[in-house]
Structure 1
Amino acid sequence: MYKIAICDDNLFFIKQLRTMLKEKIRSDDQIEIYEYHSGEQLLMEMDHFFDVIFMDVVLPKRDGMSIAEELYRMNPLILLIYCSGTILPTTEAFQVQPYRYLLKQEMNQSWDRNIDDILHEMKLRNQKILKVTCEKEERWIHSDNLLYVMTEGKHSKITFYENEEKQRKIKTITVRENIREIEEKMDQETCYRVHRSVIVQFNYIVQIKNNIITMEDGQKIQISRMKAKKFHEKFSDYMGVKYRREK
C-alpha cells in the first residue's frame, strides 16, 4: 500500500492534482491519497508515514519549507515534491532536498511526465524501505543503510546508519519483525546471513580474518562453518562487481 499526501490551501489545485494522479495509477496499484490544507494539519494527523508528499511552498501560518524540515526529522525517507507558483526558488527551499520542484503554472505542460517519474521513483524506493515496528511505533529504514541484523528472541535487533541533525550516526533498535521478514526486503546481492541469527551488509565490512567479520562500528561477527564457503563466494562476487564499477 502506497500513501500519498497533498498539502495545499488551494482546493482547486488539490482537485487537479488528485485527478492527474488517479489517471496515472494502474488498476492493480494500491494507493491512498490524503488531503491537507495546512502544514499544521498534516503534522497533527501524521499518524503514519507517507511515501510521497506534494507540499505547497507558501501556506497559511507556516510555510511549506519549515513543515518539510519537521517531516524529515520524523521520516527522512519521504519523497518530497515542492509545488509552487514561484519561478525562482529561494536557497531555503533546498534545506530539505526535494525530489522535484514543480511550478503550478506549468501543470498542463510538464507535470504529466513528472508524475510518471514520481510514481516510478516511489515504487523503486519502496522496494528498499524496511517498515518496522519499534516500541509500538512505525519506523522506516532504507535497507542499504543497515550494517547488520541480529535475532533477539522472537524479534530482531537492527544496527543502521541514520542522518541526525545533518550528521550520519549509527543506531541500534529492537523491532517486532523477525530476521526472515527483514531479510526478504534486503538486496540479496549485497548481504548474506552468515549465521542462523545474523545478516551482514557487505558494504560495511572492514575486515575478514579467520572467519570473523569486523563491521564498520567495530562489531565482530562469527561466520558459521556451514555458511563460510557460500559467504566467501558471495562476498568475492560483490567485491568483483564493486571493483568494476569503481574503475
Structure 2
Amino acid sequence: MKQIQVLIVDDERYARDELKHLLSNFASIQVVGEADSGSDAVLKALQLQPDVVFLDVEMPKINGMEAAKSLRKLKKVPFIIFATAYPEFAAEAFRLEALDYLLKPYDEDQLKQTVQRIENKFLHSQESGDTKFGKLAIESEGEIHYLFPKEILYIYHENKFSKIVTKKDAFQVKITLKELESRLAPYSFFRIHKSYLVNLNYVSRLTPWFNGAYLLELDDSDEKLSVSRNYVKTLRKRLEL
C-alpha cells in the first residue's frame, strides 16, 4: 500500500525543511515535492498529484487562500492543511473545507493529531470501497499469499524475520517491520513497541504493567502484547473517542 503523498508549500526554505523533517517521523507520510509560492503550488499539484497539501497562508503574489481555491478546482482535489503563524485566517480556512489548521511554530503533538486526522480520512476512503480489492502480497515457503489488511491481528519482528499473525494462520516473511508499517499505514495499524505492530480494530483491553508500560489484549488472540511507555499516550488517542 502506497504512502500518503504530501506537497509542502511555503515561501520560506527553513519552514519547508522543518516541516519535512517533522513529517519524516511518520511512516504513513511521503513528502513528494515542495513549492515556494501559491502559483508554484498549483503547478506542482498538477504534476505530482499529491494526496495532501500543507499550505502556508502568507505568501507573495498568490497567497495560500487563493492557491487553495485553485487547488479545489483540480481533477484530483488534495486535502488542504493550512500552516501559518496567523490564527486569524482559521475561519476562512475552514470555509474552504481545510482538513486542519496548524500554527507556527509547529507543536509536535498537534502535528501528530493532524497526521492521525489525515490517516483516518484515508482509512475511511478505503472502507468506503476506493481500494477494497487491495491486498498485502507476502511470500512464505515458496508461495505468494494475499491478505486483506483486516485479516491481520498483529505483526512482530524476531530474528531478522517479521511474523504476520492472522486469526487462522501465521506467516514468516523477510519484509522489515518498517516496510510493513509503511504499506499498512492507511489501515489502522499502529506500532506499540519497536518490534510490534497491531491492528487497532482488534484491541480489546489495556492493562497497566510496570514503569508506565501496558499489556495489550486483542480479540481472537490469547497473546498479551507489551506496549512501550513511549507509545501509550498516542495509542490511547488513536483508540479513544
TM-score tier, shorter chain, comes to 0.3 to 0.5
TM-score, normalised relative to structure 2 = 0.47
Q: Which has the higher contact order (CA 8 A, sep 6+)?
A: 2
Q: Which has the larger radius of gyration?
A: 1
TM-score by length of 1: 0.46
